[in-house]
């Protein structure tokens, strides 16, 4: 007597539409399920192994690579005044507070000296630790930075024309470059370049160092 049992509209004893009988289809199903389980286990193992590396990369990204720079604080007042640095290509030290006064010496960009006082836009400078015997004079205070904080790079760092990372790059600082900070402007620092200035974008470490 013929059986009326059907599975999904087919007799389990009759050939399937794909040409496979019921036991063969069952074996293929079990093989497919085993493959899916194996693939799932492999993916799970990869996730567990890769997760620490992914988290480490994300952590570095979020903190902005803390090794980018050191923010060095101002030196503070010494025995005879504050340290200053020349910001322009060259700066003439004069005997008096006038552009027509006799020249004492010419300083170059980055030269450091001590400022005793600032008067009428001129800074009284001492060019030697020996205040009494060493040379001294006056320089135009517009071309110096008095007791600035300093930006020292720990890796190659771009400097932008203005406070936008899509702005043109005006300089690319190499490792251990040290520049005076002229202004702290939120997420950006303005630093001195030779006779000019540029903008450096702060990372998370820079913001912690400056408190902004």
| Percent of the chain scoring above 70 in pLDDT | 64
| Domain spans of the chain, in order of start | 66-73+149-210, 82-146
Least confident of 122-126, 137-141, 192-196: 192-196
Alpha carbon 3 to chain centroid, angstroms: 78
Residue 195 pLDDT level (bands cut at 50, 70, 90): confident
Q: Give pLDDT tens digits for 151-164.
A: 999 999 999 999 99
Least confident of 27-36, 44-53, 183-192: 27-36
Q: For domain 66-73+149-210, give the CATH superfamily.
A: SH3 Domains (2.30.30.40)
At residue 1, the pLDDT reads 47
Residue 210 pLDDT level (bands cut at 50, 70, 90): low
pTM score of the predicted model: 0.65
* Residue 65 structure tokens: 């690579």
Class in CATH terms, 82-146: mainly beta
Q: Which residues of 121-130 are buried (b: 16+ CB within 10 A; e: fewer)?
A: ebbbbbbeee
Tell me the average pLDDT of the chain.
80
* Same-fold call for 66-73+149-210 versus 82-146: yes
């Amino acid at each position: 007597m013929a059986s009326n049992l059907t599975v999904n509209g087919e007799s389990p004893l009759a050939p399937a539409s794909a040409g496979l009988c019921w036991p063969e289809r069952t074996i293929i199903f079990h093989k497919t399920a085993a493959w899916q389980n194996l693939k799932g286990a492999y993916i799970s193992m990869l996730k567990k192994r890769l997760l620490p590396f992914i988290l480490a990369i994300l952590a570095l990204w979020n903190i902005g690579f803390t090794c980018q720079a050191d923010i060095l604080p101002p030196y503070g007042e010494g025995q005879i005044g504050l340290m200053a640095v020349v910001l322009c290509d060259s700066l003439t030290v004069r005997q008096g507070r006038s552009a027509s006064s006799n020249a004492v010496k010419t300083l170059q960009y980055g030269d450091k000296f001590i400022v005793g006082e600032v008067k009428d836009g001129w800074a009284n400078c001492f060019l030697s630790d020996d205040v009494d015997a060493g040379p001294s004079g006056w320089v135009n205070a517009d071309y110096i930075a008095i007791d600035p904080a300093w930006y020292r790079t720990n890796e190659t760092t771009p400097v932008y024309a203005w406070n936008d990372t899509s702005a043109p790059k005006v300089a690319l600082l190499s490792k251990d470059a040290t520049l005076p900070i002229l202004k702290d402007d939120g997420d950006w620092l303005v630093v001195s370049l030779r006779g000019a200035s540029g903008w450096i974008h702060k990372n998370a470490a820079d913001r912690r160092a400056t408190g902004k």
